[in-house]
């Protein structure tokens, strides 16, 4: 201890008896050393966890690096500033406010830490969701936004409370102000709550194809925000839809179809009426043998009606695939095979025609 006292005395002499300069310099030096040590330790721990693949534990460490530096430097700086103000006696009335701010440093640092931690967890969970059907990216994004919003609100409330703002009065004022804001911005709030319902109910997720029978709305969902959802139409135009609209319209989600339906009516000539039963049975047998037709779904092939110029039978069945391009390839193959079945039975597909019958008898060419 004697050498420390001796060193301090020598420094006081060298500084021209300006003790406050030594104190400020010491505070800033210690702050710098502590920050360097914590950065070195956290960086080494981060590298160690990353090499071992401990991404979840590493999230807690990596998220702490900047908030820890913020906490250390703000504390050191506040102490140095208070030392200078007390030494010179200037702005002494501000010292209590600075002390109040100092007491909120930990709260601010923790709030920042929580937000950074949630951001890192969100990234890891989204990667995990891509390989696990029990979790989806939309839910992860919604939860992360809610947690970050709560952390921000709580941090702000504690910060204001440290400066003597009454939380009871603030909450009461917030309640009355919330009612006024609610009336003034009901559409905005409706969109925000609409976005929350989309996150909770999940009628669609990013990447899915949706359409509405109530609105001219059809395309692929690219982004679900708190206020609006962006849908990319099939002609590649972006369509921005306020979330509140989704609570008032019906939404169809073709991306979640289990099968795609083939529903067609085919007509043959009236002259081939005797072959109708054989043709429908042949088409049904062809469908039952087709590898791309789902045999567990409804399948109907029956004579349906007497048309103006054809005898019509209809085909009702489902493909196994829901992929749009593959579905049309299968449908093309089925229709061509239907035409082949009709041809095999010596019949022909009918086309619109009209027969004119002229009554036989003498035709009087005389003119009265």
The structural domains of the chain, with segments of one domain joined by +, span: 11-164, 187-253, 257-344
Given 3-state DSSP classes, what are the helix, strand and coil percentages for the chain, each rounded to the nearest 5?
Answer: 60, 15, 25
| β-pair type (228-232, 209-212) | unpaired
Residues of the chain with pLDDT under 50: 13, 177, 180-185, 363, 366-368
Structure token digits, residue 85: 């103000």
> Residue-wise over 306-338: b if at least 16 C-beta within 10 A, else e?
eeeebbebebbbbbbbeeeeebeebbeebeebb
- The pLDDT, as a whole number, for residue 367 is 46
DSSP state of 53: T
3-state secondary structure of 131: coil
CATH topology of domain 187-253: SH3 type barrels. (2.30.30)
In whole angstroms, give the CA distance from residue 209 to residue 134: 20
- The pLDDT, as a whole number, for residue 368 is 45
Torsion over CA: 163, 168, 171, 176 (sign) = negative
- Do 315 and 283 touch, CB atoms closer than 8 A? yes
Provide CATH code, domain 257-344: 3.30.70.100
- The pLDDT, as a whole number, for residue 180 is 47
Residues 6+ apart with CB under 8 A from 108: 70, 155, 159
- Do 28 and 78 touch, CB atoms closer than 8 A? no
- The pLDDT, as a whole number, for residue 181 is 47
């Amino acid at each position: 201890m004697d050498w420390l006292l001796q060193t301090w005395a020598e420094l006081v002499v060298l500084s021209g008896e300006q003790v406050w300069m030594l104190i400020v310099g010491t505070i800033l030096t210690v702050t710098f050393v502590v920050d360097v040590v914590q950065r070195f330790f956290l960086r080494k721990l981060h590298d160690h966890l990353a090499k071992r693949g401990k991404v979840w534990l590493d999230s807690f460490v990596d998220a702490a690096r900047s908030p820890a530096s913020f906490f250390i430097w703000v504390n050191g700086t506040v102490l140095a500033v208070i030392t200078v103000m007390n030494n010179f006696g200037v702005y002494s009335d501000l010292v209590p406010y600075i002390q109040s701010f100092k007491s909120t440093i930990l709260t601010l640092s923790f709030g920042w830490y929580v937000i950074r931690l949630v951001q890192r967890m969100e990234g890891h969970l989204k990667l995990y969701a891509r390989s696990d059907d029990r979790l989806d990216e939309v839910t992860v994004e919604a939860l992360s936004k809610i947690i970050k919003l709560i952390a921000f609100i709580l941090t702000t409330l504690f910060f204001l409370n440290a400066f003597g703002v009454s939380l009871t009065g603030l909450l009461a004022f917030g309640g009355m102000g919330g009612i006024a804001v609610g009336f003034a911005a009901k559409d905005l709030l409706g969109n925000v709550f609409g976005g929350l319902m989309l996150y909770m109910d999940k009628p669609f997720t990013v990447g899915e194809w949706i359409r509405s029978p109530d609105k001219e709305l059809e395309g692929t969902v690219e982004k679900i925000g708190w206020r609006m959802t962006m849908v990319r139409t099939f002609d590649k135009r972006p369509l921005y839809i306020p979330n509140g609209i989704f609570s008032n319209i019906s939404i169809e989600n073709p991306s979640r179809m289990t099968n795609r339906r083939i529903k067609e009516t085919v007509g043959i000539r009236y002259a081939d009426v005797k072959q109708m039963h054989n043709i429908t049975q042949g088409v049904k047998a062809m469908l039952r043998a087709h590898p791309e037709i789902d045999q567990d779904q409804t399948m109907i092939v029956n004579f349906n009606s007497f048309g103006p110029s054809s005898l019509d039978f209809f085909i009702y069945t489902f493909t196994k695939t829901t992929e749009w391009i593959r579905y049309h390839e299968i449908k093309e193959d089925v229709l061509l095979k239907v035409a082949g079945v009709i041809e095999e039975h010596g019949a022909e597909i009918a086309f619109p025609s009209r027969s004119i019958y002229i009554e036989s008898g003498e035709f009087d060419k005389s003119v009265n």
